[in-house]
Amino acid sequence: GAGVSQSPSNKVTEKGKDVELRCDPISGHTALYWYRQSLGQGLEFLIYFQGNSAPDKSGLPSDRFSAERTGGSVSTLTIQRTQQEDSAVYLCASSFGWNTEAFFGQGTRLTVV
């Protein structure tokens, strides 16, 4: 597809379980971002990948959160031992470079019960 693709679109998980969220960026885009949006709130930065550089992990809220980007394309955000406060929409964006427009996917709505 032409846009940023995220899967699954919705995920319900039990507290304490691990979850993996996937992001397929736009082809050729070297920069990839993960954000979190809680109900009625703005976007909270989580992590940023740019090419082969070390990722900027400064927004990850705890060591239960991790992300990787394989082959400079697909990215996976993993949340271990999920907590109810992790419930949010997780958004992925990509851009051609750090100084160009960023385009978002539709997000993964995570609910921890």
The residues in 22-41 that bind another protein, with binding defined as CB under 8 A, are 31, 33, 35, 41
Q: Which is nearer to another protein, 17 or 111 (CB)?
A: 111
Q: Which is nearer to another protein, 5 or 76 (CB)?
A: 5
Quote the CA–CA distance of 52 and 101 in Å, as a whole number.
20
Residue 84 binding another protein, by CB under 8 A:
no
In the complex, the smallest distance separating the C-beta of residue 11 from another protein, rounded to whole angstroms, is: 15
| Binder among 91, 94, 110, 112 for another protein (CB under 8 A) | 91
Q: Which string of x and - marks every residue 59-78 that binds another protein (by CB under 8 A)? A: x-------------------
The C-alpha angle with vertex 67 and arms to 69 and 14, in degrees rounded to 5, equals 135
Annotate 40-108 with DSSP letters as a single string.
T--EEEEEEEETTSPPB-TT--STTEEEEEGGGS-EEEEE-S--GGG-EEEEEEEESSTTS-EEE---E
In the complex, the smallest distance separating the C-beta of residue 91 from another protein, rounded to whole angstroms, is: 6
